[in-house]
Amino acid sequence: MGVVFSVIQFTVSSTMVIKREVAYGIVQGLSDFWKCEELQDFTVTLGTTKFGCHRFLLAACSGFFKGIFRSGMKETESNCVTLKDISSETFELILETLYTGHGVLTNDNVDDIWRAAHQLQIMFLIKECEDYVMHTLSLENYMKYYKLSRLLNSEPVTKVVWYFIVKNSSHFFKTNSFLKLSRSKVLNLITSQDLVADSEDDVIHAILRWVQFTSQDKVVNQKGKCSNNTSTNLDVTHTSTDVHKEDTPDQSSTQTENESSCKTMCKETLPHEDITSESPFKAQKMIHFFSKPDTRVKDLFDLLSKARLCLASHHCLEMLLSHPLVLFHQKTRDLAEKALLYVLQAGKRNGQWPSGAIFRNNDIYANSALSYVIRDKYAVSVTTFLFSRRSWLGFPKFFSEATITSFQLVVLDKTLYALGYFHDVNQKNRYPISILQLNGSSWCKKSFTFTLPFPIFSAVENESFIYFFSPIGKEVWKLDPATGNRGRMSDLPDECSISYVMSHEHLILVFYLCLESGVDTAIECFDTKQNSWRRLNNLEGPVKDIVSLKDDHATYLLQTSGDLWKLVQPQSNFVDFEHVVKLWSCDWPLHGAVTFLDDLYIYGVKDDNFSNDPKLRKSVDGLFKNIIYMHSKSNEKSIFMPYIVQQN
């Protein structure tokens, strides 16, 4: 056996150091009295077994025995004590540790020794048990240790086991222990960025199992037999339990009231279906389930809204939409339908992500923000900022044999395109625009090109297409980068130099300096469905370096002056702007802004004066929990745009 020295603190203070050899000699001396009757002065009885011990050693190691000896209790006078809830085998192993320092812990005895050490208040042995448990966690024992750590109030072990659960959630979701978690614990689990599951489908299935689990029901199936096995079937008729409580005294008196309120709720949530006449059997089952005193159905919407629905498979989301609990609740159904549209329509995945589309830390993909710097006119350095790690990741550099006259990056779903004019030869009429796609670690040029009347252009994604805007010639082109198909659209209203373009649903907004005032920002709105233009109201403030961002609720514009505007849409083809807040008071050149969860990341040119701005806001109540300001070292124009990157 090994020798355990956890009881010895080798460094007591800055002026007192215990030598290892001396400590070892003391333990060796104590071991001579192990199972030796000499000088024994106290007896501990467990059942029919008696152990002769030495008071001094018991008091030195155990808070329990120290308390007995100091209290003057009858056990002190009789020199004996009887212990309950500890087996003689366990106590003998504890004495062996106290007398010899031997390591006695095994997978079979650690839980009994841990309980006993906790009862006897042997702190160093508690620590030994905790360390042993944390280093021997496995799928076979983690639930046993999780329950025991909570019973013994062991915060270190509880944290480590919970982290183990987070990393092995697909296994944990299938256990009855998951079904018995509190609502807050389930929320903590499914919202964790560190959660590791086989797929987000597992998370959704787990939520449905948890919601359907109750502590009082034995659901009778159609044959009239009770089911005692926890079912993974997603029909409420198959819900079952393994914990049974006695009925509360007022349960029967409130049953009629509960059924009545359930009928009302079902009618409100399913306005097109008379549940009491057209589907009475289904309605009766639902009323029974909704009217349970301990039903968790009310938590379904909140849990699903915190899950990553947009990362689930379309098969899982279609199952969710057909589930009775979702069919009977309008808000939950709308949530699932919105997620399904996001999954099925690639155009919905362009731009910034809803909270349900945030990848977890261990997923194959990660949410990031792209940036680039043109170096020496022949190379472009592309990097992306990983939000989960808060660090930059370098991409393969983009090289050109000719001068890079113009360069832009466009993202369609998870595909990154580089667009630009890379030629030294002067063109007389049209300028060929090259399109490259990032494949793994290299940029691959597409086999097709198309021409514009001028090499300087603006480009933006909308749905699954890239739109090109050339003020010279007022040309607008729509390109499918997957096939190379293109088409000329309605011309720009004028030839003003474009400062910024952005997508908002099926609309594209084009920003430029208002010639009438010379100060405000003019905006033209292009309707991609109608292939038509409409002039919007001017936006107060500067147009230079304006950027856009989105969250779950709205689309915003941010100006270099710090003014944040919200896009409002009173009509399907008309957009207006509502001032929200001023984030700073000076002028700060911007690259871009991206929201991630509840935080807003803003990327701009490094400016010492900006950091000292007394009106700089670090959060906005109800919008952004934190505002993180990031500064580039270069003054060159760049971007900061959302991108789903594949992690190596």
CATH code: domain of residue 31:
3.30.710.10
The residue with tokens 């261990």 is 362
Number of structural domains, the chain? 3
The confidence score (pLDDT) of residue 293 equals: 57
In the block, tokens 């500064």 appear at 631
Decide if 46 is inside a domain.
Answer: yes
Q: Is the pLDDT of residue 243 over 90?
A: no
Q: Are residues 449 and 597 in the same domain?
A: yes
CA-closest candidate to residue 330, choices 416, 266, 259, 248: 266
Q: Is residue 560 part of a domain?
A: yes
Confidence of residue 345 (pLDDT cuts 50, 70, 90): confident
> Which residues sit opposite 478 in a β-bridge?
467, 487
Instruction: Determine the average pLDDT of the residues in 316-333.
Output: 93
How far the first Cα of the chain sits from its last, in Å, is 44
**Is 336 a residue whose pLDDT tops 70?**
yes
In a domain, 98, yes or no: yes
- Cα-based distances in Å from 353 to 305, 347, 369, 621, 646: 14, 12, 11, 20, 16
Dihedral sign computed on CA atoms, order 614, 616, 619, 620: positive
Q: Rounded CA gap, 523 and 539, in Å?
A: 8
Q: Do 319 and 455 share a domain, yes or no?
A: no
Tokens matching residue 153: 């109030």
User: 329 and 369 in one domain?
Assistant: no
Helix (H) / strand (E) element for 638: namely none
Confirm whether 392 is domain-assigned. yes
| Orientation of helix 110-120 relative to helix 142-151, angle to 10° | 10
Per-residue confidence (pLDDT) for residue 11, from 0 to 100:
47
Does residue 29 share a domain with residue 59? yes
Interval 481-503: pLDDT, tens: 999 999 999 999 988 889 999 99
Does residue 75 sit in the same domain as residue 212? no
Same domain, 334 and 369: no
Mean pLDDT, rounded, for 192-203: 95
Are residues 178 and 202 in contact, defined by beta-carbon separation less than 8 angstroms?
A: no
Q: Full-prediction pTM beyond 0.95?
A: no
Do 369 and 324 share a structural domain? no
8-state DSSP, 467 = E
- Residue 269, CA distances (Å) to 296, 327, 365, 492, 500 in order: 17, 8, 37, 46, 43
Q: Give the rounded distance of the alpha carbon of 46 from its chain centre.
A: 50
Residue 621 lies in a domain: yes
Considering the domain boundaries, does residue 206 fall inside one?
A: yes
The CATH number given to whatever domain includes residue 525 is 2.120.10.80
| R_g (Cα) of the chain, nearest Å | 34
Count the alpha carbons within 13 Å of 156 in the hemisphere toward its beta carbon: 10
Residue 83 predicted with pLDDT over 50: yes
3-state secondary structure (DSSP) of residue 465: strand
Could you give the percent of the chain with pLDDT greater than 90?
Answer: 53
Q: Using the 8-state DSSP alphabet, how is residue 569 labeled?
A: E
More confident residue, 328 or 424: 328
Query: What pLDDT does residue 555 have?
Result: 93
Distance in angstroms (rounded) separating the CA atoms of residues 291 and 160: 38
Angle 27-31-37 from CA coordinates, rounded to 5°: 140
Judged against a pLDDT cut of 60, whether residue 287 lies above it is answered with no
* Domain of 408, in residue numbers: 365-646
Query: In this structure, are 333 and 217 located in the same domain?
Result: yes
The Cα–Cα gap between 140 and 152 comes to 20
Q: How many CA atoms lie within 13 A of 252 on its CB side?
A: 3
Calculate the average pLDDT of the chain.
82
The residues, ordered by sequence, that sit 6+ positions from 444 with a Cβ below 8 Å of its Cβ are 436, 437, 438
